[in-house]
Structures are given as structure tokens and as C-alpha cells.
Structure 1
Amino acid sequence: MADLPDWMYPPSPGGWTADDLDLLPAEAPRHIELIDGALVFMMSPQRSFHARVMGNLLYHLASQAPVGVSVELEMTIKLGKRNRPEPDLVAVTAPYDASRTYYLPSEVVLAVEIVSEESAERDRDTKPRKYAEAGIPHFWRVEEDNGAPVVHVFELDVTTGTYVPTAIERAVLRLKVPYPLEIDLSLLTR
């Protein structure tokens, strides 16, 4: 077995921190997130469903976003010292900063995860739970059903600090929050 590169070892005895992600060398994989102090690498080949839904959803979310809200692909959210997950899409209220590498929960109005086989447990349980605990008001989980997208919509219940389901859409997604939008879901895989 080959030796691991030095950068794969935590820089301190306490393990990895959210700030350590910005110190990784260029040879590190592009998509790394931090969950409970552990590095998670997204190494599996991306499936066409995931790529198409992510790109088309970005277009629809961004084109309907109000002034002051922007949408980005695969930006991490610094949830605390030992958690910096990377949702597939985020809608944020932060001003543009070309050198930015993460957002804070207070800047995120929506986090979206498109479920992949290798990340299903994180996308369905771990990450939404952490997003809710951090106070992110809206979360969508996109599942695949016979090649078509199904969008599960959740809103934060501030009393319990957990997400509650508000919709499961298979045809047209019409919402008033986090901002008014309408998306024909059949367009997400074209």
C-alpha cells in the first residue's frame, strides 16, 4: 500500500477544522467537505442525472432570484469549528467576493442536496440535520425516480430547530419561500 501524502494527515492532534480546508494544497481533490472533523472526499464519477439537475436547477434558481440573492454551485458552509459541508447548491444573501471559499449559515437562505448513491445517508440525514441546527431556513433534497427528479422541500421550524417537510414535487415546483419561484421539473434533466 502506498504511503498517504502528508497533506492527508490532520495538521493538529485535535483533527481537522473548518479553517484547515483553505490550507489544503492544489493536489488535493477539488471537492472535500468536513463532517464532524473528518474529511469527506467526493471521488465517485458524477452521473448525468446529478450533473444535469444541478446545472439546470442552478439556472432556474438564479434566474428567478430577487435582487440581493445569488445562487452558487458546490460552495461549503462553515457550520462551526469541525463542520464545513458542501451542498450541491446554495442561495445566499452575501455580497460577491471573488476570493470567498465558504459561506456562514446566516448568509444562506437555501441549501440543496442532490442525492447520490455514495452520499445518500449524508444527504438525507447528516447534512440536513446540521443545516437545521445551524439555522439555515430552507433545505431541498432532490431524489431520482426512474430518471426524473423529485424535490423534497423542507422549512426550518424555529421552535424545534428541525426541518419540517412542506412539499414533495414531481411535476412543477411552485413556492413562495425562500423566494417566489416556479420550476417545471421536467426541464431539469434536459
Structure 2
Amino acid sequence: MTAVPEWMRPPRAEGWFADDLDHLPEAPSHTELIDGALVFMMSPQRAWHGRILTALVNALTEQAPAGVEIEREMTIRLDERNRPEPDLLATTAPFQPDRTLYTPDQVLLVAEVVSPESAERDRTVKLRKYAEAGIAHYWIVEEEDGEPVVHAYELDRPTRAYVATGIHRRELRSPVPFPVRIDLTALVPGRRS
């Protein structure tokens, strides 16, 4: 058993806070903070995840209206103890090259492409936390027989909980957060509808 590196020790008795992530240069890329605990991407990503994410970013970038930017793998400071890193987000914040995070009021949409190691967090923990933070739209992208399936959710503001608005196979059409039409089968390399 090797010793825990010094940078992994919380800086205070209360543990980690959202702003601490900006001061951990030794931490692996894609480090998140969930309920004050550091969460690392420990297993290698599958090629399917990377291809779907890249194709989804490209499709949304092409369709985003002026004033909406599509980002991948950027953290959102939900509160002082939570700073998750979604796979994709749509934001109204202008591009800033030195930006390390967004705040919920700047985010229109968050999407997670489910991986085996992140499935529980994506389907339950992040679903609840993004809703409680007031992010209007959340997509969970699952793999079903090699094809992407998008589970779309919209925030019910009075309850601060998500309501399922659809499960999209083959094609995703939605008027929110901006008009979107994506041929989901075209996101998979070598497959076209």
C-alpha cells in the first residue's frame, strides 16, 4: 500500500470546497467535487463515449443560436461543496479562455454520456443536484444496442425537480433549450439512418 499523496489530503477539517479544485494542479483531469468529496475518472473511457460526445457537441454547436456556446467537460459550481463536470453543457456565458467553471445561472442544458463507472452518479446524484441548482434541461445519453438513446428532462421550477419530457431513439427533436434536431443514428461512426 502506498502513501496518499499530500495533494489528496483535504485542506481543512471540513473537507474540500468548490474553489479548491482550481488549486489542485496534481489532480487528474476530469476531477469533480460531489458533496465535498473528490471524484476522479479512474477507468479509461470507451471509444463509444468519446465518439458520441464529440458528435453531440458538433451537432449542438451547429444548431446553437447566437449567444449560446456549447462546451465539453467543464465544471459547474453548483454550491460550495459541489462542482461536477458534465460531459457537455450549453451556456449563455461568453467565451473566456481562462475560465475553469460555470455557475448554474449561466447553463441552459447539461448532458451526460453514461459510462459504467459514472452510471449511478449520472442517473441519480447529478439528476437531483442539477435540478436543485436550477439548471433547466438535463439529458442522459445511454447506449442501447450500440445506439445512443437520449433521456430528456426539464426542470419543474416550483418543485426544483426534473420531469421526464421524452426518451429519444433514432432522432432527437426538441424546441428547448433551443430548437434542436439530431439524427442520433448518425452520431455512431459507420451508421446512418
Q: TM-score range by the shorter chain?
A: over 0.9
Q: After the TM superposition, which parts of structure 1 deviate over 4 Å for at least 4 consecutive aligned residues? A: none
Query: What's the offset of the Cα at 1:189?
Result: 1.4
TM-score after normalising by structure 2? 0.97
Query: What's the offset of the Cα at 1:49?
Result: 1.1
Partner of 1:58: 57
**Runs (5+) with no aligned partner, structure 2:** none
Partner of 1:4: 4
The secondary structure found in structure 2 opposite 1:57 is helix
Query: What's the offset of the Cα at 1:62?
Result: 0.8
Query: What's the offset of the Cα at 1:84?
Result: 0.2
The equivalences for 1:19-38 within 5 A come to: 19-25=19-25, 27-38=26-37
Matches of 2:183 and 2:152, distance apart in 1: 15
Partner of 2:66: 67
Q: CA RMSD in A?
A: 0.6
Partner of 1:162: 161
Query: What's the offset of the Cα at 1:43?
Result: 1.4
The secondary structure found in structure 1 opposite 2:164 is strand
Count of residue pairs the alignment pairs up: 189
Matches of 1:178 and 1:56, distance apart in 2: 18
Q: Deviations over 1:111-161 (max 9, x none)?
A: 001111111110000001000000000000000011110000100001211
TM-score after normalising by structure 1? 0.98
Matches of 1:146 and 1:15, distance apart in 2: 41
Matches of 2:177 and 2:9, distance apart in 1: 39
Percent of aligned positions with the same letter in both sequences? 60
The secondary structure found in structure 2 opposite 1:117 is coil
The secondary structure found in structure 1 opposite 2:118 is helix
Matches of 1:13 and 1:20, distance apart in 2: 14
